[in-house]
Amino acid sequence: MSAGHIAQAVTGTGLAGIGFKPVPREEFSGLGAMSGASPVMERLFTQMRTTAPHLRVAAIEGPSGAGKALAARTLHNAGPASAGRFVPTRATTFFADSQALLAEASGGTLFLSHIDELDRGQQARLADFMEWLEHMHTRKVEYVPRQLFASSRMPLRRLAGEGGLRPELSHRLSAICFVLPPLVERRQDISLLAERFIEDFSQRHGKPVRGLGPGALPRLQAHTWPGNVRELESVIHAAALSCEGQWIRPIDIPALNASVSFPSGREDGDNGRWSTDAKAGAGAAAQSLEEEANLDRAILRHVQAVLTAVKGNKLRAAQLLGISRSTLYRLLEARSFSEKL
């Protein structure tokens, strides 16, 4: 049985009877409320853990919907200003209400989003403000924000090189810079993110949705996600609302945009076209569920064999199986696991 079939089967209806237990949120891979296990996100989390305790000023770059505000809040929670408030505001409106915002962010973190939208005059005012804030920090004044984070959809250094940002402002902001990749560059995190969003949805709405059923994950992974993590969250919540059982099916997933190239085939009356891999994976998983009366046992034996091969390393086993670590934990904690081996 291939890793792809195992991944689809263990998240599908074939294991509905083994007594899954809720997965504690801390078992999700990531940092704080951020989830991810892809190499690019692991590097980002390492950078954040290393620098967060010492940050004063930092830039956060990435496309819309990639999670820049969440990254800023995560840095705040892990940094020297965590006892204070996290105050987000759009950079273009900051000076319209700067006194109130500074008072609110006193001893905490001020987060200015969309720095790339500032005009030249606003950029000059922000550069002056940052110079003043640095002077206040030097004097150890406590009634000002301890941290200043700014986000941009465009790389600040490139923006400065093209004349769209004052060089002195770019230098001040981007000395320490965190870059969030688009979701299409971290596809292996889609399963992990989807599980987290499903868990959030279930807790918030009291609807017991367990996860992605057969064929759902390949469809999500085939999409280009122009709206990034924010779009995925919206899609998962919509699918969780519409699903009739405990597992999200392909038919429950809202129509995704037409920018994805799907060669052929349709499923469950869905109007979106499926990629060859997605259709094959979903079809194989569905066929296995119908034809193998003992699929649960086969899956669990395979899981145990992989665990034995990697000497009990759960992270490595999950990677080889093509499932998330939290799904593996659910299998290991299931009441009837040992009886089915």
According to DSSP, the β-strands at 34-35 and 30-31 are: antiparallel
106 and 167, same domain (yes or no): yes
Q: What does pTM read for this prediction?
A: 0.68
Q: What is the C-alpha to C-alpha distance for residues 94 and 71, in angstroms, rounded to an integer?
A: 20
326 and 226, same domain (yes or no): yes
Low-confidence ranges of the chain (pLDDT < 70): 1-28, 257-302, 305, 321-322, 330-331, 333-341
Instruction: Give me the CATH number covering residue 260.
Output: 1.10.8.60
17 and 43, same domain (yes or no): no
230 and 327, same domain (yes or no): yes
163 and 288, same domain (yes or no): no
3-state secondary structure of 142: coil
Best CA proximity match to 331, nearest among 220, 307, 4:
307
DSSP 206-265: -----EE-TTHHHHHHHS--TTHHHHHHHHHHHHHHH-SSSEE-GGGSPPPPTTS---S-
Best CA proximity match to 109, nearest among 140, 138, 133, 139:
133
- At 137 the pLDDT is 87
Q: Of 142, 165, 183, which closes a domain?
A: 183
Q: Of 183, 215, 241, which closes a domain?
A: 183
210 and 316, same domain (yes or no): yes
Instruction: Give me the CATH number covering residue 147.
Output: 3.40.50.300
322 and 200, same domain (yes or no): yes
18 and 128, same domain (yes or no): no
**Domain range for 28:** 3-35+186-340
Tally the domains of the chain. 2
Model confidence pLDDT, tens digit, residues 37-65: 999 999 999 999 999 999 999 999 999 99
Q: What is the C-alpha to C-alpha distance for residues 321 and 301, in angstroms, rounded to an integer?
A: 12
172 and 233, same domain (yes or no): no
Q: Rounded to the nearest 5°, which phi and psi values hold at 239?
A: -65, -40
69 and 10, same domain (yes or no): no
Q: What is the C-alpha to C-alpha distance for residues 267 and 285, in angstroms, rounded to an integer?
A: 14
- At 275 the pLDDT is 32
What distance lies between CA 99 and its chain's CA centroid? Answer: 34
Q: Of 140, 156, 183, which closes a domain?
A: 183
191 and 335, same domain (yes or no): yes
- At 297 the pLDDT is 54
193 and 329, same domain (yes or no): yes
Q: What is the C-alpha to C-alpha distance for residues 8 and 107, in angstroms, rounded to an integer?
A: 48
